């Protein structure tokens, strides 16, 4: 029996806290090394402007990664988030153009995201369909729907509301992008929930061993259902920020975004088997990949090599995680 099936249920809160602290320390050291290396090798890398720009660029993956990690920890997967980023821009932009109201536009986008979360959650948790198949299906349906509706043409933001544009261009104290502030606030809130609130403990229990969690009195299906809703709503928030950034609804928005988020989540120590991982680790994984990409661009390395190096890092991270699990199991 794997550690993912037993470790979370057997480990107490203090043991889990020590495990997360060790993972996060290793990731933090890795992040520091990445920043230190490129600070000496890439021109203008270590500057306030570049550091804050990287935070802004990472905000989308940070925001959507929270939901992705929560679904992973619950023992399921959600790969529909990239297509959701493109799809929610349609009600957002269309409603804002028609009503000149950011509130109504955001409300329409969140409602659509909620519907997608309910569909993904219901089909997985209550209908019993594999979550990979469910979210793969909704991913293709949404992406195809966007292509059909837009005719592969961008729908511009004609309303051009200052409050909407500020999501992309605005900076707190003229330094930190608002998108990064939103991501960090959401990260802090959900990290607190996962570590200190009963529902967070239920998610770990369900992901670690759903049968034991059920015997302990947890409603396994309800927990997984809510996790998919959280994931969809957070991806919707990321999609709103992306739409503000590009100033339109585009059929190519969020293309392959789900794989970037999954890569960062796995690098951050979140187990694909469920029950293990932390949102702080996920966030550090996002930042490592974002600073790595930024630094490699600063060195003039072609995009193709950036992808190759990133892929090698992900494989190495998963291999090390698997080796650690085998040692923990005495295998």
Structure pTM?
A: 0.90
d(CA 259, CA 81): 9
- The residue among 265, 263, 270 whose CA lies nearest residue 311 is 263
Find out whether 96 and 159 touch, Cβ atoms under 8 Å: yes
Concatenate the DSSP letters of all residues of 250-318 into one string: -TTTTTTHHHHHHHHHHHTT--TTSS---HHHHHHHHHHHHHHHHHHHHTT--HHHHHHHHHHHHHHHH
Bridge partners (DSSP) listed for residue 248: 156
The model's confidence at residue 19, banded by pLDDT at 50, 70 and 90, is low
- The residue among 233, 19, 205 whose CA lies nearest residue 120 is 233
Find out whether 242 and 85 touch, Cβ atoms under 8 Å: yes
Q: What is the DSSP letter of 247?
A: T
State yes or no: pLDDT of 2 exceeds 70.
no
Residue of higher predicted confidence among 256 and 80: 80
Q: What is the pLDDT of residue 199?
A: 96
Mean pLDDT of the region 189-214 = 95
Concatenate the DSSP letters of all residues of 179-232 into one string: HHHHHHHHHHHHHHHHHHSHHHHHHHHHHH-HHHHHHTT--HHHHHHHHHHHHH
Bridging pattern class, strands 155-156 and 248-249: antiparallel
Q: What is the pLDDT of residue 7?
A: 43
CA angle 278, 173, 175 (to 5 degrees): 65
Find out whether 250 and 153 touch, Cβ atoms under 8 Å: no
Distances (CA, A) of 235 to 81, 251, 294: 6, 16, 23
d(CA 125, CA 218): 14
Q: What is the DSSP letter of 170?
A: -
State yes or no: pLDDT of 8 exceeds 60.
no
State yes or no: pLDDT of 170 exceeds 70.
yes
- The residue among 32, 142, 40 whose CA lies nearest residue 81 is 142
CA angle 231, 90, 86 (to 5 degrees): 50
Q: Which residues does 289 contact at the CB level (< 8 Å), separation at least 6? A: 61, 260, 263, 264, 267, 310, 313
Mean pLDDT of the region 248-262 = 91
d(CA 317, CA 321): 6
Q: What is the pLDDT of residue 271?
A: 84
Q: What is the pLDDT of residue 176?
A: 92
d(CA 224, CA 50): 38
The model's confidence at residue 43, banded by pLDDT at 50, 70 and 90, is confident
d(CA 238, CA 236): 5
Q: What is the pLDDT of residue 168?
A: 85
State yes or no: pLDDT of 18 exceeds 80.
no
State yes or no: pLDDT of 136 exceeds 90.
yes
Residue of higher predicted confidence among 24 and 35: 35
d(CA 203, CA 31): 28
d(CA 163, CA 92): 14
Per mean pLDDT, which range of 1-10, 290-299, 317-326 is the poorest? 1-10
Distance of CA 265 to the CA centre of its chain: 7
pLDDT in tens, 88-130: 999 999 999 999 999 999 999 999 999 999 999 999 999 999 9
The model's confidence at residue 226, banded by pLDDT at 50, 70 and 90, is very high
d(CA 219, CA 204): 13
| Average pLDDT of every residue of the chain | 89
d(CA 100, CA 77): 37
d(CA 80, CA 66): 14
The model's confidence at residue 50, banded by pLDDT at 50, 70 and 90, is very high
pLDDT above 90 coverage of the chain, percent: 70
């Amino acid at each position: 029996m794997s550690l993912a099936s037993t470790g979370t249920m057997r480990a107490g809160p203090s043991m889990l806290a020590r495990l997360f602290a060790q993972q996060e320390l290793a990731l933090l050291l890795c992040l520091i090394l990445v920043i230190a290396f490129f600070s000496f090798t890439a021109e203008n890398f270590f500057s306030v402007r570049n550091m804050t720009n990287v935070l802004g660029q990472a905000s989308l993956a940070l925001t959507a990664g929270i939901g992705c990690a929560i679904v992973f920890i619950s023992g399921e997967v959600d790969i529909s988030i990239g297509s959701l980023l493109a799809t929610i821009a349609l009600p957002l932009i269309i409603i804002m153009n028609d009503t000149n109201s950011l509130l109504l536009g955001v409300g329409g986008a969140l409602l659509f995201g909620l519907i997608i979360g309910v569909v993904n959650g219901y089909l997985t948790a209550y209908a019993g369909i594999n979550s990979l198949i469910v979210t793969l299906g909704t991913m293709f349906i949404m992406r195809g729907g966007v292509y059909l509706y837009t005719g592969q043409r961008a729908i511009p933001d004609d309303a051009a509301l200052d409050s909407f544009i500020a999501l992309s261009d605005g900076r707190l104290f003229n330094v930190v992008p608002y998108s990064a502030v939103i991501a960090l606030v959401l990260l802090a809130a959900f990290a607190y929930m996962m570590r200190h609130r009963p529902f967070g403990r239920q998610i770990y229990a369900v992901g670690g061993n759903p049968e034991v969690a059920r015997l302990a009195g947890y409603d396994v299906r309800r927990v997984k259902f809510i996790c998919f809703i959280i994931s969809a709503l957070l991806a919707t928030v990321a999609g709103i920020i992306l739409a503000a950034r590009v100033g339109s609804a585009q059929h190519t928005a969020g293309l392959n975004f789900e794989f970037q988020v999954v890569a960062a989540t796995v690098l951050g120590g979140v187990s694909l088997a469920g029950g293990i991982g932390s949102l702080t680790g996920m966030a550090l994984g996002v930042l490592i990949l974002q600073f790595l990409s930024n630094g490699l661009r600063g060195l003039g390395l072609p995009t193709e090599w950036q992808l190759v190096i990133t892929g090698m890092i992900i494989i190495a991270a998963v291999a090390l995680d698997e080796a650690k699990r085998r040692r923990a199991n005495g295998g």
